[in-house]
A and B are shown apart, each in its own frame.
Chain A
């Protein structure tokens, strides 16, 4: 039977990548001196599994290389080798090499063997001082020209208790040649002394065949060599002295797996998602329930009359619940822990610190916080940028830290947590903080602000996000040319999130990133403005209140302010913004929704508040065109289109002065199209 192994290769590759991550994390811990036996075992086990799988699934280069790695790790594990920094460095580069080999295998390309050879040479050099057991001298027993073998096979009494059946061994021997079996009953006890669970028999065997090697026979008895007494005598030899006991027979050489490596499908990677089995089981259960509801409704519908109304309503209620649960379940499946994005940092921090001569301890928390896979994929690069910035600009060298009276080792904290409908990611260092004076000076130099402008601390910090701004005196190869922070902010905003930077002189910098949990679903408040229904993201609603005309005031041009408990907030007239017909005098806007984004508030006049519900976001850009003030659209239960307000965008409009009230052509078109 031929079994195609290629179907298991993808799984092997995925679990190898996980194994490499475990090894890397463990090795980094090893260096910090916080390593215990469990960690070493976990590292070893990962290497061991990769080696075993690689051999089985036909990745011979990986198998050969990981064998070296495993041998070295085994010495560490058994305490025969102490771990030095160079050893850890070598092991870490070995992890890199295996990653490269896996990538190459996946892409079906020949691997670039320069790094492989170099690292393998390093491993061999390190192993050279410990003699590695050479290949067993297997052919010592090959006889000249035996015509057969005489074998005495005396199983020990407890052989059966190892699950070995002597008759199986006889059967197997019979496949090698012609076998004559003579039982030896001499050790058989009397019936009252007989232990039915012990083996009391022995056999004298004659195996005829001209090309049977001692190794072939030994391999039959391989598993029982300690559970029996075996003597083998070659027959038909000039000298009848070729007797060997099975104990001397070396393990037969086994052919290495030679599964053909099928060219893997191109580009298959990256689009797959590993889903927790429990989540999948939930989904299957829910689909089962849905099928039941469907058949129930089908039955009600077949011969429907008014008496079945109650059944119909019950069925519909059940369907609603099924749908909601199914939706939640599917969305949960897209949620992956943020550790997918965090995992790269221990290694990165280690490498960068080596290069910069800094000493930094990375503390991560909340790695299990889940968010949408799409968000995770897009958050990776901005995070890398921020971490690099912190290491490069924020954290000081050990000497500088000591001089400043701080502990020699800097701390970089990376944390994630859920807060409301958002995830908050914080990158905090205890470095020198943002040098406000230098930031200011640089901004003046760049013409971003005037030399005499008075800026609040917040405004100074905000300058960092300006395109092309950089305070580093020398351009390093790490953080580049200061194109960083504005790009970071832009990327985060594109995900519907926001960035905030806090800094205290000499005490460090904290960057907070707030992101929506998912980009596909939104908890929304439906609101009617004129004939059109809008969706307002629930997270951005502060409150909704009945408008008191007394509190409205107009300032310059058309901008309006609403006085809300001693504070004035700008008011947007959505009717005008989106080109909807002005309300009749009698039906003045009843309600003001106070919305908040990025710490700023604004009010939006609406006619009526409708239901709260989750909506599936459809892109306006993809289906129509990007529209100012709207972040997307959705289709409601009755089939009509509702437009989703872009709250940060709308609030931005109020900041830009008096033009907010003027309708834009595109927003009018969008509403007309809806």
Chain B
């Protein structure tokens, strides 16, 4: 089963995402900010990264830019969790190399729908 790196500084959101994906059979690795996520992603390759945008230490957009620059993550789907109030964040995310985004708030079904679409 594909592995997913879930990045969010909010514990409740991260737990919800991880639990939902695990229930669906994905292997999930969690990180609480961009710095932790980048280190994890370098230590092992995951099939998809799902990251919040607003985080301390390293935000999601910087994380995407850093990951995309790594040869191993050149073609890996990198999704951002954004809110509808920040359309400019979507553009910024895309410019950094994000594959797409998931708009908050979302429910578990929407999350799984998006992930299944991307991972096929």
Residues of A at the B interface (CB closer than 8 Å) are 1-3, 5, 7-9, 11-12, 15, 42, 44-45, 48-49, 51-57, 63, 67, 70-71, 74, 160-164, 168, 171-172, 197, 222-224, 226-227, 251, 254, 256-259
Contacts and interface: CB of A to CB of B under 8 A. Distances in A.
10 contacts: A3-B108, A5-B16, A8-B16, A8-B19, A45-B55, A161-B75, A163-B76, A163-B78, A197-B75, A251-B103
Interface string B8-29: 0111110110011001100000
Given A52-B83, A70-B85, A71-B85, A1 B24 contact: yes
B10 A49 contact: yes
B2 interface: no
Nearest to A161: B74
B54 interface: yes
Contacts of B52: 52
B63 interface: no
Contact of B12 (A15, A44, A172): A15
B99 interface: yes
Given A57-B12, A168-B117, A257-B106, 17 more contacts: A1-B108, A8-B15, A11-B11, A11-B12, A12-B13, A45-B56, A48-B83, A49-B13, A51-B83, A53-B13, A55-B104, A163-B75, A168-B118, A224-B100, A251-B84, A254-B84, A257-B105
A1 B100 CA distance: 23
A56 B13 contact: yes
Contacts of B10: 12, 15, 49, 52-53
Contacts of A67: 85
B72 interface: no
Contacts of A52: 10, 13, 52, 81, 83, 104-105
Interface of B: 9-13, 15-16, 19-20, 23-24, 52, 54-56, 68, 74-78, 81, 83-85, 87, 91, 94, 97-101, 103-110, 112, 117-118, 120
A1 B112 contact: yes
A506 to B, nearest CB: 45
A197 B54 contact: no
Contacts of A227: 94
4 nearest A-B pairs in the assembled complex, by CB-CB distance: A55-B105, A223-B100, A163-B99, A12-B12
Contacts of B112: 1
Interface centre among A15, A56, A258 (most CB of B within 10 A): A56
A163 B13 CA distance: 24
Given A5-B108, A45-B56, A197-B74, A164 B16 contact: no
Contact of B107 (A56, A162, A163): A56
B107 A49 contact: no
A419 B93 CA distance: 52
Interface class of chain B by DSSP: mixed
Contact of A161 (B56, B97, B107, B117): B97
A1 B23 contact: yes
Contacts of A258: 107
A162 B98 contact: yes
Contacts of B97: 161-163
A226 B107 CA distance: 27
A164 B100 CA distance: 8
B15 to A, nearest CB: 5
Contacts of A45: 9, 54-56
A197 B74 CA distance: 9
Contact of A163 (B54, B77, B85): B77
Contacts of B24: 1
Given A51-B83, A161-B68, A11 B106 contact: no
A178 B54 CA distance: 40
Contacts of B104: 52, 55-56
A164 B78 CA distance: 9
B16 A226 contact: no
A15 to B, nearest CB: 6
Interface centre among B74, B104, B117, B118 (most CB of A within 10 A): B104
A45 B52 CA distance: 11
Given A42-B56, A49-B54, A53-B12, A3 B19 contact: yes
Contacts of B101: 223
A30 B19 CA distance: 38
Given A56-B16, A71-B85, A222 B100 contact: yes
A70 B105 CA distance: 15
Contacts of B12: 8-9, 11-12, 15, 53, 57
B57 to A, nearest CB: 11
A17 to B, nearest CB: 12
A223 B75 CA distance: 15
A69 B33 CA distance: 24
A171 B116 CA distance: 12
A67 B83 CA distance: 10
A15 B32 CA distance: 13
Contacts of B15: 8, 11
A285 B109 CA distance: 37
A558 B103 CA distance: 83
A218 to B, nearest CB: 13
